[in-house]
Chains A and B, each alone.
Chain A
């Protein structure tokens, strides 16, 4: 067991965890933040995507003990008083159906918009599709997810 301290969604947390605890497990089981989902066991589907120190990370392949002192944001921490433009865009554009991949899609979407804006690149629909390589959705056929991210990018 190892004691770790991190900031999750703006709150400081300190827990004793088994060394093999994955960040996804830490969030879901230790902190009961169940919005972060686990859809595969090979780091492919991206349902578990969260932000660590401002960058998107697959929490299913990150050891919690490796993140001592880190700042973690999950889907539960994205809205700041009001919904984040990415969350609004997914509703406006019907970017979700069953909702299981949605937290990961939103976290990846926010990250990609931030990165493209920071580097001054245009986030085209082709770029969004390429960037979504690590996020799998089985319901939407991606059509409305791409539109949601495009829409949010214009508003962020």
Chain B
């Protein structure tokens, strides 16, 4: 392994601009002629809009325009789409309610936008937005998905009777019922997966500019996928044709899913820039983010898992109600279906699985993918069930898992997925060793001696990354292909630019991708530049989410490099008068193996561009592009072990140890991969112990700022022990599985399994705040039972 190639802990190339304050985020962009947008938002969760009086705002000095939904629809700006069509089990299409970027006659969640003010300054725009009078006729609201399904619940959309969007199923119900009927033991649980707010630290922002002479638009935006944004803005929202719209996602301060979607604000800023002939900037503040950024999770499930007399799982049946909020966001339909129920086999050999999912409208912020997107919900369900079953059966929870592990690959589950490679028992062994499970009893005794409770919990997670292949997801309803593209440009001086459709918003692609190129062509990493995030530079791309950048994006780069290498060898063979098969690339040179004949890498570049002496018929230049469509999902998996200490008097819980063993396949840069795990674990621990979006029954958001929504702080979290047990993914050229979401997927059940182990009460909901833990301890009688 070289110091800069695959497997090396290369320090990040992008860090200097971030550590010196020179990063360029969307809100740092300022154009000549720039105006500011502020949105008039509904303070009610559900209301008819009977009128808008903007006269006072319009009269304010410095207000340029106040625009509303009627004008927007009048200009034929399209409704917001959901990009994945999921049918109900009876074959009927999903009941998708109309979502206009500016509501016209009805608002359906607190924060729903009804108008926008464009003004000379941000302060003035916000002041004027306060002065817009909206005549609301308040309607009853419903925020719980379970309540929204009841017959007397308020109705959100006329075309979604009973607030039901679709009633979907996967797996064989009759076979699963039969298997459960014959089971020796059944574990049954009701499991709630709490609603979360993603909270990338950079609030969303958009700067739109309309060039009247060229009839051309430019949008700077906080996006994880600028090309997808351009496609949707153009094809569905009719803002501008694609060739007249440039979308730039510059430095983006975290995404976690929340920046996948095209939001109303981007549509409105583009449209308003045309209406006012001004650059229009909007930047969310954190309070606005809480009521506009798509939320995540929010499932209520009942699950039954059956075991035979040898403690083998015979069947697993799940019924889930998923809250999708007031409107269907871009991938909202896929998250609680194909990204969720397809992972219900976990790491286990289960012959019979059935899952029914009802998705529901409520008067809350739309719900969509948040780090893990469906897979955390599946993992939490499966791993809480396994731990609970082990307790009921009186067996070691790690051994119950081991006895049910899938050990042979490929393995076809009953819920679509075909696992390609893994070493589940190896992950478990390595993590138990690293977590010193053998020493737990002594540590527990020491805690008890100090008046504390101590518990240990496992999570053996599996997830699916790099959603693919395109034809397969298309057959399941996806409205996009999920390939990736890349272009590798070797310049005449031999330096390389790689244009990728992946987008880095913290993942470190400028380093990791450069490592792979440096490794392949044996060049200094400084000579390689990664270009991303601009539709005028990069031909196309599907962006970054679902841990797909390395598994899919890098594979496209590899494919383009294959073509570059082939051409380099042809040129060198021609110049050096050798056979192509004898050409090797190493040490900045292109050589004839076994001879002293060589030319510099840069000379090959120069030769290609000079075109004075190329092989007969060869085109000049040295630039190749590729599209890569994966043949299967990839399946990262691992074992997480959490060890907690609980103060029975207060419920305060501290994580004493957190051990992660992950199988991500080939690792390009272990430093960056470990960083991804750390961050994912923090979000998973956050979900388990701290975070939760809370609405009151009227749909008012009670957790609308960092004063109320508990973000994980440094002193809430431990140092993590992060290890790897890699099996190579057989389905992509580098053997990569993906690492971005694992921590957030695997951590929550490990934490809750540990706390419930400590307190001796399995009935504990996330987030396990001190109050919730204390209450559970009271219910278990352990508050005085430290013995």
Contacts and interface: CB of A to CB of B under 8 A. Distances in A.
Interface of A: 18, 20, 28, 32-42, 44-45, 47, 74-76, 78-79, 83, 87, 90-92, 94, 96-103, 106, 125-126, 128-130, 132-133, 135-146
Contact of A139 (B11, B24, B251, B679): B679
**Chain A CB within 10 Å — which of B21, B23, B508, B707 has the most?**
B21
Interface string B1-28: 0000000000110111111111111011
Contacts of B24: 34
B681 interface: yes
A100 B201 contact: yes
Contacts, number: 183
Nearest to A126: B715
A42 B706 contact: yes
Nearest to A132: B714
A133 B672 CA distance: 25
A145 B719 CA distance: 11
Given A35-B23, A99-B506, A44 B672 contact: no
Contacts of B264: none
B706 A97 contact: no
Contacts of A103: 21
Given A34-B28, A87-B19, A99-B253, A45 B201 contact: yes
Interface string B505-519: 111100000000000
Contact of B715 (A90, A97, A100, A129): A129
A128 B23 contact: no
B287 A41 contact: yes
B678 A36 contact: no
B671 interface: yes
Contact of B253 (A40, A100, A142, A146): A100
B252 interface: yes
B593 to A, nearest CB: 38
Contacts of A42: 286-287, 705-707
Contacts of A37: 25, 201-202, 253
B15 A98 contact: no
Contact of A141 (B16, B30, B717): B717
A98 B507 CA distance: 7
Contacts of A76: 20-22
Given A39-B201, A140-B678, A142-B714, 9 more contacts: A33-B21, A37-B201, A40-B706, A42-B707, A91-B11, A97-B675, A98-B202, A99-B17, A136-B713
B170 to A, nearest CB: 32
Interface string B701-741: 00001110001111101011000000000000000000000
Contacts of A132: 713-715
A90 B15 CA distance: 8
A94 B722 CA distance: 15
Nearest to A103: B21
B12 A83 contact: no
B254 A143 contact: no
Contacts of B202: 37, 39, 98, 100
Contacts of B711: 44-45, 136, 138
A19 to B, nearest CB: 12
B292 interface: no
Contact of A100 (B254, B675, B712, B717): B254
A142 B717 contact: yes
**Chain B CB within 10 Å — which of A40, A135, A137, A141 has the most?**
A141
B256 interface: yes
18 contacts: A28-B28, A34-B28, A35-B23, A39-B201, A41-B705, A42-B707, A91-B15, A96-B18, A99-B17, A99-B253, A99-B506, A100-B202, A100-B253, A132-B715, A138-B682, A138-B711, A142-B682, A145-B714
